[in-house]
Amino acid sequence: MKKSVSFFLMIFATIFIAFSLFLSSRSTKWTHQSFFKAVSPWSKLNSGWIIDGETSSIQDGKLSIKRVFSQNDCLKELFFITHNQNVFMTIDDGSETRTLYSSGYSGKQLIGSESGNAIHVVKIPECRVPRFVITIQFKKNFTSKNEQFNRWYYQMFRGTIPTIYIGNEDTCISSCILKSLYQVIPIVLQLISAGIILIFYFVNHRNMKSRRCLHIFWFTMITTICLLCESHIGFLFSKNTFSLYLLSTLFIAIRPSAFMFLLQEKKLLSKDERIYKLLNLIILANIFITCALSFCTFIPFTFVRIYLLAFNFILDCYGIILIFSDSFSIKATLDVLDVLILINMAGFTIDMVRQIFFGDSTDLFFFTRIGILFIYIFYIFNAIQDFFNKELVKARSETLKNATERDMLTGCLNFYNMEKQEIKNDFVMFLFNITNIDNIFSENGQNEKNNALRSFAQILKIEFLKDPIYKLYSAKFGVIGSNRSNEICEKQIQDIVMNVEGYNKLSMNSKIKIAYTYGRFDAATDTNLDGLYSRLLVDLHKKSVGI
């Protein structure tokens, strides 16, 4: 019953998230320009800007800057990234002031109260006058009907003036990609690392570690998608900035599930099942809260992110306490996974502090990306080590199995395996004995004796390709095969005798002499396999001593 409820809750959460993202993508208010032309580098436009005191107002959440441009700047493009800010640009050539660009002031607002990160690429038009002024106004997205709340909100979350770049028409996208490499490379490495981990675990464990594989796959998809959405490169895949903002916020909401996975790896949450269930409920509730509040355009979405960041911070503190208490109470030291979990938590905490206390950030997960990458690198080495350990155990098991089932010198099955042979009414048994094995040992030593046994075993393996060959006690060998005519049996024995003669011609010291016999199982006289074996053994003994 509990599993069914959890399943339906997950389905409902997925549908809710998809519906929220669909509505966010249909909202046209939070959109930025699409750009796909780029070759040469851009340059920072640091100097020449002055704050326009007439149109700037901290109480209204507005910041305005202006700069004088020349005709040489015509047809170039201005490039900048804003966070939760509307943009309004005008150009004044002395005769008139006209609108050059605006973002966030028009369009449908079905969902979302803030834009998140937005990239702006604005072409400077051609002007006939030698000099003209461009004014850029940045205004906070959110505006409440309550003036007192607006003043408090704008005071607490002041907007910032972004870094502005200028370049030719074909510069912006390549420069943006190059500038975003430090964001993209860790994400790509995460995907590669996760792929390697999953391959190793699926090959090694299959069903045994399927839950771990599912966790890693789930965590990888969440982190990769959401970190891409928060990175500058993510804007190449969607024109709607709030969709990306919502996805990255959902990553913050779902992040504790990865946190619990890491703690479960350390077996720290298994001590209290109630805490684990409570955290699962809170995570699910946070997902619903995030999606539900995205519909509330009268509440700043920044508050949702602050709440989620604070919850993650509290959870990280709890995790740090668990790690230190467990490590120092048992072994008084931290292992590699402990250190990496702490690095990951520290990276996320630093990013949270940057976001809350140092103003709006257009690169929220800078240190988080690095921390997550360290976790993946650890799991790569862990998966590889696990793989080779498993192969080593498999090799050792195979060696032990061979030691119990086979003769280590000749590779033939041992006498114990012959006793386990299933009895059939139509089989034939061959017995062979190297009659002069003691002489070989006394005259030439153990090495020549071993060489004689190995060589004769190889002759038998060549002749009886499909039949099991058994190394019995001393220098005796046995073969059990399907029933065959006397002519075939005699021919096989003659072939063996010829091969032994050929071996003796090549051997300088250990010339082999053999005795042999064979017989068919007779249910009337041989009650079981031992009956036939005993009967043939007596005959072999007579031939060995020349009776």
HSE-CB of 185 using CA atoms within 13 angstroms: 6
- In this prediction, residue 250 has a pLDDT band, given cuts at 50, 70 and 90, of confident
Closest CA to 112 of 191, 24, 215, 7: 24
CATH assignment of the domain containing 524: 3.30.70.270
Q: Which amino acid is located at 228 in the chain?
A: L
Average pLDDT, the chain: 78
Q: Do 440 and 538 lie in a common domain? A: yes
Percent of the chain with pLDDT over 70: 75
Q: Do 246 and 373 lie in a common domain? A: yes
Q: Do 423 and 371 lie in a common domain? A: no
Q: Do 382 and 457 lie in a common domain? A: no
Q: Do 227 and 351 lie in a common domain? A: yes
Residue in the block written with tokens 């009337």: 524
**Is residue 118 predicted with pLDDT exceeding 70?**
yes
- In this prediction, residue 39 has a pLDDT band, given cuts at 50, 70 and 90, of very low
HSE-CB of 420 using CA atoms within 13 angstroms: 8
Give just the sign of the alpha carbon dihedral 478, 482, 483, 488: negative
As a whole number of angstroms, the distance between CA 327 and CA 268 comes to 10
Residue 17 lies in a domain: no
117, 149, 175 — which closes off a domain?
A: 175
Q: Do 154 and 66 lie in a common domain? A: yes
Closest CA to 116 of 232, 242, 29: 242
Written as six digits, the tokens of 219 are 């965590």
Residue 255 lies in a domain: yes
Measured in degrees and rounded to the nearest 5, phi and psi for residue 481 equal -140, 175
134, 150, 175 — which closes off a domain?
A: 175
As a whole number of angstroms, the distance between CA 429 and CA 69 comes to 104
pLDDT of res. 36: 39
Written as six digits, the tokens of 453 are 């046994």
Query: Which stretch of DSSP H or E encloses residue 82?
Result: strand 77-83
Residue in the block written with tokens 């360290």: 374
Could you tell me which residue, 255 or 546, shows the higher pLDDT? 255
Could you tell me which residue, 211 or 52, shows the higher pLDDT? 52
Could you tell me which residue, 378 or 410, shows the higher pLDDT? 410
As a whole number of angstroms, the distance between CA 356 and CA 62 comes to 20
Residues 6+ apart with CB under 8 A from 486: none
Average pLDDT of the residues in 446-475: 88
Q: Do 170 and 188 lie in a common domain? A: no
Q: Do 151 and 166 lie in a common domain? A: yes
> How many domains does the chain contain in total?
3
User: What is the DSSP code (8-state) at residue 111?
Assistant: S
CATH assignment of the domain containing 167: 2.60.120
pLDDT in tens, 70-85: 888 888 888 888 888 8
pLDDT in tens, 272-322: 567 777 888 888 888 888 888 888 888 888 888 888 888 888 888 887 787
Q: Which amino acid is located at 69 in the chain?
A: F
156, 175, 194 — which closes off a domain?
A: 175
pLDDT in tens, 336-360: 767 777 787 788 788 877 776 765 5
**Is residue 214 predicted with pLDDT exceeding 70?**
no
Q: Do 256 and 129 lie in a common domain? A: no
pLDDT of res. 38: 39
Rg (CA), the chain: 40
Q: Do 330 and 200 lie in a common domain? A: yes
pLDDT of res. 267: 63
pLDDT in tens, 160-172: 788 888 887 556 5
Residue 246 lies in a domain: yes
- In this prediction, residue 136 has a pLDDT band, given cuts at 50, 70 and 90, of very high
Could you tell me which residue, 252 or 202, shows the higher pLDDT? 252
Q: Do 202 and 343 lie in a common domain? A: yes
CB 410 within 8 A of CB 461: no
**Is residue 35 predicted with pLDDT exceeding 50?**
no
pLDDT in tens, 468-493: 889 888 889 999 888 888 888 999 99
CA distances from 63 to 54, 56, 237, 469 (A): 10, 5, 29, 92
Residue 143 lies in a domain: yes
Q: Do 489 and 374 lie in a common domain? A: no
Residue 212 lies in a domain: yes
How many CB atoms are closer than 10 A to CB 19? 13
pLDDT of res. 506: 84
**Is residue 254 predicted with pLDDT exceeding 50?**
yes
For residue 164, what are the domain limits?
43-175
Residues 6+ apart with CB under 8 A from 539: 431, 517, 519
Written as six digits, the tokens of 5 are 């409820």
Could you tell me which residue, 70 or 212, shows the higher pLDDT? 70
